[in-house]
């Protein structure tokens, strides 16, 4: 990752939005939102997204996006599960990679993360790792509730010191996927504050932070999509986190919902249309609006310079 993206966020008290994509249309929508708000942005992809797009296609998409994008953009591997997947992501052009060893024993997580850091740093690529485990299902992530646990601040300090990671994803109450919470989301800001004290110079990352707006859920239900019970993290919690050491906030589920709303609304209004460019354009506009709102919420607007 371009170091200044998260270092500047840490220094100036805001968070950079990191949004997942698995096709060109979603990436263009993310970039449009960053240019609209004059925000730095992180475009990230999972292992399955890389496979879906195709490595050679993705290489050229990244090259073109860097040429076209008018604000700082970084490409990032989300939830890499092995050194091999990290190598593949670096080969396609990622500026940063995440190795997710959060379900491994602590010492094993340290050992493999250190090997990833050594490999990536030799190539000028930054590394994010995870300590603590978020429950939920999303893309390549599937963690049962019983196996989730909060990040231990003392372990976090030891982990960063022994691995040399550039940023650390922590578990303070967020969850992956659309069906995150039975009740209202609560974030453990007390844990975050303890980690901040022990790691004052390390940018922290929040995974599983999709908003899953209630109005969006209601709209999908109206359009015939059974997404009843979907809940996300409230905006006020994300805004508070972004003013602390949380320098990168991930989003994926709410982008999927936004795209689907746009597509289905267009089909509903134009049921004779078979031109995918028209319904995709409306879906892309929904993503751009969503991500722009997130950037304003995280405080990254007008931070592109």
Active-site annotation, residues: 78
Q: Which two tokens stand for residue 29?
A: 């929508």
* Distance in angstroms (rounded) separating the CA atoms of residues 178 and 208: 9
Give Cα separations from 115 to 80, 94, 161 (angstroms).
13, 18, 14
State the CB neighbour count (10 A cutoff) for residue 83.
17
Q: Note the maximum CA span of the chain.
A: 60
Contacts of 24 (CB under 8 A, 6+ apart): 61
Contacts of 107 (CB under 8 A, 6+ apart): none
Decide if 9 contacts 241 (C-beta within 8 A): no
Distance CA 79, CA 45 (A): 9
């Amino acid at each position: 990752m371009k170091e200044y993206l998260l270092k500047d966020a840490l220094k100036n008290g805001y968070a950079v939005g990191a949004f997942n994509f698995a096709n060109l249309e979603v990436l263009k929508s993310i970039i449009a939102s960053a240019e609209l708000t004059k925000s730095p942005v992180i475009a990230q992809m999972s292992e399955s997204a890389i496979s879906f797009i195709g490595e050679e296609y993705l290489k050229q998409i990244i090259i073109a996006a860097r040429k076209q994008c008018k604000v700082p953009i970084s490409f990032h591997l989300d939830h890499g599960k092995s050194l091999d997947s990290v190598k593949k992501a670096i080969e396609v052009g990622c500026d940063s990679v995440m190795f997710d060893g959060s379900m491994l024993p602590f010492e094993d997580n340290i050992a493999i993360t250190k090997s990833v850091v050594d490999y990536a740093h030799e190539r000028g690529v930054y590394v994010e790792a995870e300590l603590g485990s978020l429950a939920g299902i999303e893309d390549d992530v599937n963690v049962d509730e019983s196996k989730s646990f909060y990040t231990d601040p003392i372990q976090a300090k030891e982990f960063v010191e022994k691995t040399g990671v550039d940023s650390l994803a922590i578990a303070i109450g967020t969850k992956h996927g659309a069906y995150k919470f039975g009740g209202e989301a609560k974030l453990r800001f007390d844990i975050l504050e303890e980690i901040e004290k022990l790691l004052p110079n390390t940018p922290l990352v929040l995974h599983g932070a999709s908003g899953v707006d209630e109005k969006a859920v209601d709209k999908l239900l109206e359009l015939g999509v059974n997404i009843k019970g979907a809940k996300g993290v409230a905006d006020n919690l994300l805004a508070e986190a972004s003013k602390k050491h949380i320098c990168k906030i991930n989003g994926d589920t709410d982008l999927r919902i936004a795209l689907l709303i746009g597509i289905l609304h267009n089909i509903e209004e134009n049921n004779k249309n078979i031109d995918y460019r028209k319904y995709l354009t409306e879906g892309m506009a929904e993503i751009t609006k969503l991500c722009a709102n997130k950037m304003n919420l995280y405080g990254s607007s007008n931070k592109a310079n």
